[in-house]
Amino acid sequence: MQVASSDIQPGLAVAELSDHLNGLLADAFVLYLKTKNFHWHVSGPHFRDYHLMLDEQAAQIFSITDDIAERVRKIGGSTLRSIGGIARLQRLRDCDEESMSPHAMLRELHADNLKLVALMLEAHDACDDHADVATAGLLENWIDEAQRRAWFLAESAK
């Protein structure tokens, strides 16, 4: 029998799911900032197309941050409070390069989005283990969005 997320019992399930979600939240902030960074610094003959695509992708990534944090709170966990918390939990790498080619930017974002998908799938497995269908449903939508971003980035980097 499946139980609703609101029926998740305190303890191991909440801690495990919160850990997964807080890691995803940190990674979403990292990917958002990296995508905006590349949006601000992209140049070249495809500037307009890349600039607009990266802005759209950054907005999509930022839009899930509140949902992730609120989901942690709904299941009874605690979420990020600072940039330091993001730095401690992030698995995606920052990019402080002064100069990158547009293709290098797109390839890096492609890889990051695919890594985010893998991390979301791990979180989805934890949801399955704890019968958290509500969080699993959210993750399925976010996985689809990240896969779509990765597809656009791969096609644009050809």
What's the pLDDT tens digit per position in 81-93? 999 999 999 999 9
What's the pLDDT tens digit per position in 51-87? 999 999 999 999 999 999 999 999 999 999 999 999 9
Instruction: Write down the pTM of the prediction.
Output: 0.91
Is residue 57 in a domain? yes
Average pLDDT over residues 8-21: 84
Is residue 41 in a domain? yes
Number of domains in the chain: 1
Is residue 5 in a domain? no
Residue 79: Cβ within 10 Å count? 16
What's the pLDDT tens digit per position in 134-156? 999 999 999 999 999 999 999 99
Residue 5: the pLDDT is 45
How far is Cα 75 from Cα 59, in angstroms, rounded to an integer? 26
Residue 11: the pLDDT is 73
Residue 10: the pLDDT is 58
Is residue 13 in a domain? no
Is residue 132 in a domain? yes
**Considering the chain, what is the average pLDDT of its residues?**
94
Q: How many residues does the chain have?
A: 158
Is residue 7 in a domain? no
pLDDT band at 9, cuts 50/70/90? low
